Amino acid sequence: MKRLCVFAHWDRDNIVDEYVIYYLKALKEVCSTIIFVSDTDSTDTACLNGIADYCIVKKHGEYDFGSYKRGFLYALENNLEFDELLFANDSCYGPFYSLSYIFNKMAKKKCDWWGLTKNSYGLEERENGYFSYWFPHIQSYFLLFKPQVFNSEIFIDFMKNIKSQDDKNKVIIEYEMGLSNILDNNGFKHASYINKYSHTQNSTILKWDRMIKKYKFPFLKTEIPKRGMFIEGEVKNWGKVISSVYDYPTELISKNANRLSNFQQNLYKDMNLYRKLRYRILKNLPFECREGLIFIEKNIFKLCNAICFNKLKKF
C-alpha cells in the first residue's frame, strides 16, 4: 500500500516544533511518502531529513487547504504513485499510539473517504455575522481519500480552485464544509473514526477528554492547552488525562503551548471582558438606541474583520 501524506504546517516563529517532528515520524510509519508544505517563507526544514520526502516552503496565506492544494498538485505534476491520499495538519498533538490501528480499522469500512471526526454543525455567513446550523461534515485536520476520489475530476477541480479567503470562517464554509458537500452530492461515501459524538458541535473541543480516555482518539487539539479555561473538560489536567492512558512525551505539548499561549489567552480574556461590558450596556438602553449601537458595532466589525482573523490564524 503506497500512501501519500500532504502535511500542512504553519508556525508563528517559522520553526518546525518538536511535537510536529514527533507527529511526522508517526505518519512515516504508515505513509510511504510525505510532502511537507509550510505556509511560511523562512522555515528551516533540515530537521525533517529522512522524515519528509519533499518540502515546499512558501508563504501563500490560504490556510491548510492552500497547503493541501500545493502538495496534491505537486504530486500530480511529478507523477508520484500512491494508492491512498492523506491530508493532515499541525493543529494536533500526538498521536498517542500507532496510527496503524486506525488505518486497519477504517480499511474495513465501506467508504470512499474518511476522517477522524465529524462536526455536525456548520457555519453560515449572514449580514450580521456567522451562524451555526445543522450541517454534518468531516473535519479537515485528518482526511483519507481513496483512488476513486482523488482521481476524479470533481476532486481535482475542487483542489485547483482553492484560493485565499478573507477569514478562517470562510475557509471552513468554502473548503471544509464545501469538500464534504461536493463529495457527498456526487455519490462518494464518507465515514468517521469516532461516531460516538456525531451530533456534537466539534467534539474535538467539547468532548476532548472523553474521546482520549474512552474511545482511543489519538490526538489533542493544540488550542486546548493554549486556551485553558475557555475549553470544557479537565483542561488543567490534560497532561494527566493523556498520561493515564498513553505513553506520550507530554513535555512536547508543554513546550509548544508555553511558547504560543500567552498572546492567545490574553486575546480571549479581552474578548470575554468585551462581551460582559456589551451586555451590561445594551440591556439598559431603549430599543431604538440599542438597535443603532448594534448597527454601528456591526459595521466596525466588518472593517476590522480581516485584521482580527489574521491574528487568530497565527495563534
Instruction: Compute CA 212 distance to the chain's CA centroid, rounded to the nearest angstrom.
Output: 17
What are φ and ψ of residue 85, in 5° steps? -120, 125
Angle (CA) 262 96 117, round 5°? 85
Angle (CA) 167 171 175, round 5°? 170
Q: Give the cell for residue 270.
A: 479581552
Model confidence pLDDT, tens digit, residues 55-92: 999 999 999 999 999 999 999 999 999 999 999 999 99
Is 3:32 a contact under the CB 8 Å cutoff? yes
CATH numbers and ranges of domains, the chain? 3-223 (3.90.550)
Average pLDDT over residues 114-136: 86
Strand, coil or helix: 93:
strand
Q: Give the cell for residue 234.
A: 479537565
- CA proximity to 54, closest of 39, 80, 40, 35: 35
Dihedral of the alpha carbons of 14, 8, 232, 191, in degrees to the nearest 10: -170
* Rounded alpha-carbon distances, angstroms, from residue 134 to 137, 177, 193, 204: 10, 11, 20, 17
Model confidence pLDDT, tens digit, residues 203-256: 898 888 899 999 999 999 998 887 654 455 556 788 889 998 899 999 999 999
Is 152:184 a contact under the CB 8 Å cutoff? no
Q: Give the cell for residue 162.
A: 482553492
Comparing 88 with 305, the larger pLDDT belongs to 88
Is 80:4 a contact under the CB 8 Å cutoff? yes
Q: Which of 91-95, 111-115, 141-145, 227-231 is least confident?
A: 227-231
Q: Give the cell for residue 123.
A: 457555519
E-only strand ranges, the chain: 3-9, 33-38, 54-57, 84-89, 92-93, 113-115, 118-126, 129-138, 142-145, 190-192, 220-221
Q: Give the cell for residue 280.
A: 451590561
pLDDT at position 229 is 43
Average pLDDT over residues 5-14: 96
Would the pLDDT of 308 be above 90?
Answer: no
Comparing 314 with 290, the larger pLDDT belongs to 290
Cα gap 140→74, rounded to integer Å:
20
Strand partners, 125: 130
Q: Encode burial over 286-305: b for 16+ CB neighbours within 10 A, e otherwise.
A: eeeeeeeeeeeeeeeeeeee
Within 10 angstroms of residue 230's Cβ, the number of other Cβ atoms is 16
